Amino acid sequence: MGTVIHAAEAATSETLLHPAREQLDLAAVLHALSDPMRLKIVAALAHAEEERTCGSFELPVVKSTCTHHFRVLREAGVIRQRLEGTTRMNSLRREDLDACFPGLVDAVLRAAHAAHQ
Amino acid sequence: MGTVIHAAEAATSETLLHPAREQLDLAAVLHALSDPMRLKIVAALAHAEEERTCGSFELPVVKSTCTHHFRVLREAGVIRQRLEGTTRMNSLRREDLDACFPGLVDAVLRAAHAAHQ
């Protein structure tokens, strides 16, 4: 008897920390958004109809850099990451962001879109 | 004859670099705004009726840190700094920011204000 933690279980039950809506911090969110790669990720998630895996983004950076960007976004409360097996499924925390910072995500997405036209 | 640059002149005519409106970069602006002290400076300038000196902001940081924050804001194009003698006069580049990133400064100021209530 007793508790046995298999390596596979430990990996899949990895704790992905997310700040609660009331913990979202403006400076931290702006910092998370202040990078071209992370802006691309956020814009893509804003237009996605469902969750997307990290690998589905065609970003011109190595995997570890990519993982870092997703972590910064998650820890600031910009995206939610959910494990499905060992795959991280990503979505934008649009409702939380709009509730805490009305108009901010809209303005950022509009500006990011305009910059790439 | 010839050009003579006096030390005093060199100091007062220090080149304060400002990006042109069309050079403003979203990621750089978001980075400049992603700090609590810089958000305070921007909020204060947004409500100021005229230019303000760096020293007029009661920020709980040493002078060199303060100078750094103003430089980050200027180099990102968020504020304009003008020398009056040896004093730097600061103003928000509201029109340039609103032209490049419609709604962004409004959303940030609203969120910053809400966070401090």
pLDDT digits (tens, 9 = 90+) for B8-59: 443 343 589 999 999 999 999 999 999 999 999 999 999 999 999 998 988 8
pLDDT value at position B19?
97
Residue type, B81: Q
8-state DSSP, A99: H
Would the CB atoms of A30 and B108 count as touching at under 8 Å? yes
- The residue of chain A with its CA nearest to that of B34 is A27
pLDDT lower than 70: segments of chain A: 1-14, 117
**B34, A30: Cβ pair inside 8 Å?**
yes
pLDDT of residue B26: 97
Please tell me the predicted confidence (pLDDT) of residue B21.
97
Instruction: Quick: pLDDT tens for B45-95.
Output: 999 999 999 989 888 888 888 899 999 999 999 999 999 988 999 999 999
| Residue A88, SS3 per DSSP | strand
- What type of residue is B54? C
Q: Which structure tokens are listed for A108?
A: 């950022």
pTM for this model (two decimals):
0.87
Looking at the complex, report in whole angstroms how far the Cα of residue A27 sits from the nearest Cα belonging to chain B: 4
> What 3 state SS string does B28-97 have?
HHHHHHCCHHHHHHHHHHHHCCCCEEHHHCCCCCCHHHHHHHHHHHHHHCCEEEEEECCEEEEEECHHHH
CB contact under 8 A, A30 and B33: yes
CB burial readout A19-51, b (16+ within 10 A) else e: beeeebebbbbbbbbbbebbbbbbbbbeeeeeb
Grade residue B110 by pLDDT with cuts at 50, 70 and 90. very high
